[in-house]
Amino acid sequence: MVPLRVLELYNGIGGMHHALRESCIPAQVVAAIDVNTVANEVYKYNFPHTPLLAKTIEGITLEEFDKLSFNMILMSPPCQPFTRIGLQGDMTDRRTNSFLHILDILPRDLLIETIENCGFQYQEFLLSPTALGIPNSRLRYFLITRLQSEPLPFHAPGQVLMDFPKIESEQPQKHSIGAENRSDVKQIEPNTCFDSPQCSAKDIVKPACRRSMCFTKGYGSYVEGTGSVLQTAEDVQIETIYKSLTSLPEEEQITKLSMLKLRCFTPKEIANLLGFPPEFGFPKKITTKQCYCLLGNSLNVHVVAKLIKILYE
């Protein structure tokens, strides 16, 4: 197989690039493009030899794209114009301009990741890492399309596949969260940011759990709906703590909850759950808050790697 020449758009911290490597498909990323300066610092740190263009996609001319001579695009475009929580501006939202620009220069292969319910009409998937036995929920919409006549082996026109095609025989292996015992964990002390009864709304998990909630860019800054927190107290049952919690005064609630020794997942632990390889890292100047934000906007590497492999099987 002739190595693919891949263009990575909205590169973020390089989730698509890592997935391409994991897929073992012969390929070279000829360029990565993103306007997020913080994300680009992380990308350069992990892929120092990949050409990185810090400019708007819609500002790149067709001639400039042609010079890259790519035949595959990997991208995760902005989802905000299409989300139920946002203004639902759809194509009138300026954040879609870059994506519309890309539609005019479609290559042979295209893989897109975004949140669910964006309305694409081609071969679609709604997939979560849990389908691969990964203990983290992150339901996302994916689209794989080929601009050629032969159909994909798993072609299901008009359907959204909720699982990976049954091409391979292996069964997904279930993993536990496996919290780290590292120096970066010490930077996040137990009970940090959990000095309010509101933290009882958090999804609490233990290191041996085989599930965790989706981590968003607001993790570490907001209490509810941004991702799971870790219980580090081994000899305390959460059911016992919650049994009488609501009937207690606020101060006693906080004292009771502190017995669980809750802490946020570290950026490294979240990166592990998202499938980033052990060598993945952040430059020292990137703050923990920035790490959370970047990871919350990223994707699951294992899921994308599986889709890339399926596309070429």
Measured in whole angstroms, the distance separating CA 106 from the mean position of its chain's CA atoms is 24
Q: Tokens standing for 2?
A: 């002739």
Q: Tokens standing for 31?
A: 């360029």
Measured in whole angstroms, the distance separating CA 175 from the mean position of its chain's CA atoms is 18
Helix axes 37-46, 288-296, angle to 10 degrees: 90
**Measured on CA atoms in the order 97, 98, 99, 102, is the torsion positive or negative?**
positive
Cβ atoms within 10 A of the Cβ of 294, count? 24
The backbone region for 14, taken as left when phi is positive above 0, alpha when psi lies in -120 to 50, beta otherwise, is: left
- Closest residue by Cα to residue 294 from 307, 302, 282, 306: 282
Active site residues: 79
Separation CA 230–CA 243 (nearest Å): 19
- Closest residue by Cα to residue 299 from 120, 96, 129: 129
CA dihedral 101, 104, 109, 111 (to 10 degrees): 30
Separation CA 15–CA 245 (nearest Å): 41
DSSP string for residues in 270-286: HHHHTT--TT----TTS
User: Side by side, which strands form the sheet with 204-205?
Assistant: 204-205, 229-231, 262-264
Separation CA 111–CA 100 (nearest Å): 15
